[in-house]
Structure 1
Amino acid sequence: MIGTVFRSEDVPVEDRFEYWRELMDRTIAPSDISSDYAADFWAEQRLLELGPVTVWPASFLPMRFRRNAKLIRQSDPEEYHLSLVLDGTLGLDHAGRTDLYGPRDLWVSDTSRPYDVGPPDGADRRTVTGVGVEFPKSLLPIPPDRAGELLGRRLSGHEGTGALLSGLLTGLNQESNSLRPSEAPRLGRVLLDLLTAWFAQVLDTEAELPPETRHRAMTERIRAFIRQNLHDPELTPPVIAAAHHISLSYLHRLFQEERSGQTVAAWIRDQRLEGARRDLSNPALHATPIHVIAARWGLPRSSGFTRVFRTAYGTSPKEYRFRTAGAAK
């Protein structure tokens, strides 16, 4: 597992809000944090340290974060902060912009500038859920004056690279229990590349990015496209290359440059097999025929599925389902 978890239920009621404030001061740039619900506070947070990048999925009762000039003089980690709102509404006053943010909205802030984040006027006790990201400004290969154009803007996590970024952030939280610490630095690099590519896309400066950043971001976009289309048996390298307006040779080169060294076809096969394996071990799908599960993952030929499954996992799909069903009892 990557990361640690905080639950307010694990702390005595009278200490919960103060404990949360101390945790937030260690997670983000020091802020003045207040809440109308401090006396009966509730929050949950997972802290994921991915190399120099910190990701913190959290849910909490409405509160306000204020960072003023005095706090900046006292301590400035010189970081950018990205927020993804998943549920609820937050307002932000930062860098001359004031706006409200709802589900799948994102914003960027700078720890070297004052900000005021909190619930809108008249908000009730509704819990706010989202994901925060902290990363050093020095790691963003975009000039500070250009990056400053993004501060406080309401950006969309519904489409394009913004949607891919939102999916990665929510996926990190969902899969954190199965992630290994050795994977943390790589995931941090992937996240930074996506952030950089997204910022450059919004600012129309993609051509100015380092080639390796563009390549890694393109690879992650391709992987997301493949995951979304694994059910299609016609998903092949030529189809993938055409969908991304790149040559087939460039597609193969992107995957060859990855440390895993897998070909595109091998990565597609492994993702399909892993999806089928998860479904075969799911008690809720025990009555679903094996060939139906295989077809859902783009593997319509039963004999071929059995052969590649046995090669990958050392047992047939039927034997694997029987064994996992027995272990679950």
Structure 2
Amino acid sequence: MKSVKRWVSAVSASALALGMVVLSACSVVSSDGTIGGNYRDAEDADIQQLLTSLGNEDLFGDAEAEGWKYGLRGETSLDFSISQGDTFSSYAGIGADLSILLEEGEAGFSAGGKLSLKSEEKSSEGEVSADLSIEPYMDGEYIYLKVSGTRASTGGESSVTQRLKIAYGGLGLVVPDLTELPSQIVSSFGDAASFRASLEASGVDMDVDTSSGIKARFTYSSEGVKEAIKEALGSLVTVDTSSYTIDCSDSVLEMYLSINENGVLEAVSMRVDIEATVPSPHFDFGTQQVAEEAAPLELSMNGMFALMSDDADVVFPTDLDSYEDLDLSDILSIPGLWA
């Protein structure tokens, strides 16, 4: 089914992208993705302190020191669902347990761990589901994926077993110097006033705790959540979502950042609990067609992800030379990998 391919592919790509840079596991980040603190409204001086800290060359420790290493470790757990009347429903669940290591040396970057992906879809075309386990690894040249699990449809169930190797060049990617990214991102923000204006335009409030280093909490207002939903739906439907009416009054979307007193990144995290209804979506997800009288759309996204510094290490499998060299078009066409 085209719709489930799009849905599972989007969620899978999000899992891989987020999983490689989003983790948690220790006391700074709570199990729901929050970072505790005595927060207060951020003033311009606080915003400038945050921007300065993010641009600090020691954000990942002293990268010039001999034998430098900076590790990240953690987990993510997210559940997504979309349903429309009795004719369409889709679910995807993602879990991850991963490690990232930045270190002195030619490669400078490695990552590895485990991802799980479960998906189900029901529509007028039938039912499909997938239950996959993915072991991703990354070095300075390749993304490695060991995929196993099952795929089921009205035609029966099949097993999925793949070992894939994708060169960054084949995806049009270049491995960035992650130690340079924060300062590059900060430069795009401008000054404190520009940063505040960007937050306000997105419906985001910023609170801080500056008692030891700086912690920042970014909370989306109801309008901010609505705009985020409209943008997400815009990538799934062929109608203009900017004028959608959305009910999500009890939804929560928060992001956190913690930098310690030495200017070193401690954690980045997110808490999400969104339940939303689109009364008139003007789109039938079951047929993937524009429909003025389409049933209301029910959306749900719940979970957390976080990134935390830790004495992590990455241990690569010994059989990476047996992984099949593929490009992106090959991956998307693997039988059974996408439901």
Q: Which has the higher contact order (CA 8 A, sep 6+)?
A: 2
Whose Rg is larger?
1
TM (normalized to structure 2)?
A: 0.19
TM (normalized to structure 1)?
A: 0.19
Q: Which structure is higher in helix share?
A: 1
Q: Which structure is higher in strand share?
A: 2
